[in-house]
Amino acid sequence: RRHKKPQADSVNQELERIQKLQSLLHMLLQIRPMADNMKKTLILEAMDCVVIEIFDVYGRICSAIAKLLIKIQPAAGKSEAVMALKVVKKATSQGEDLALYFEFCKEFGVSNAHEIPKFVRIPEEDIQAIENVINGVHEKEE
C-alpha cells in the first residue's frame, strides 16, 4: 500500500491557500477611484500602495502555482487536479484583469503603474497535463 495522504494534504492546503490569495486579489482589483476630481495626492499615494500590494499578491499566486504544478502532475488525484485546473484558469483570467487594471491606474496617474508588466501565462502543456490527470490519461514511461 502506498501512502499518498501527506502529499494530497499538502496539495489541498496549497490549493486552498492559492484560492484565498486569488480572492484577495479579486478584492484588491475592485479598488479604483471613480471620479476625476479624486486625483488628489493622498488618493494617488493610496493607489500606489494598492498597486504594490497587487504585485505582491499576484507574485505569490504565480510562485505557488509553479510549485503546485510540480506536485500535482505526477501523483495527483482527480479532485486535486479539478481544483488545480480551476485555480490555473482563474489565474489566467486574473492576469487579463490585471493588465486592464494597470492600464486604468496608468491613465489615472498612479506612478507605480506607469510600466505595465508582462503578466505570467501558464504554459499550455501544464494545463494539458492537469486535464490529462482529470481525464485519467497517464503518459506511460517505457
* pTM metric for this prediction: 0.80
Per the structure, the count of domains in the chain is 1
Rounded-to-integer distance, Cα 102 and Cα 105, Å: 5
pLDDT in tens, the chain (142 residues): 454 555 566 888 999 999 999 999 999 999 998 887 888 889 999 999 999 999 899 989 988 988 888 777 656 677 888 888 899 889 888 988 998 999 999 998 998 887 766 666 777 887 887 888 778 765 543 3
What CATH number should be reported for the domain holding residue 116? 1.20.58.150
| CB-based contact 21:62 (threshold 8 Å) | no
Structural domain span for residue 67? 7-134
> Most distant CA pair in the chain: distance in Å?
67
Domain annotation covers residue 2:
no
Domain annotation covers residue 92:
yes
| CB-based contact 54:95 (threshold 8 Å) | no
Domain annotation covers residue 80:
yes
| CB-based contact 87:65 (threshold 8 Å) | yes
| CB-based contact 126:69 (threshold 8 Å) | yes
Locate 36 and state its grid cell. Answer: 476625476
Rounded-to-integer distance, Cα 141 and Cα 136, Å: 15
For CA atoms 58, 64, 65, 67, the dihedral sign is: positive
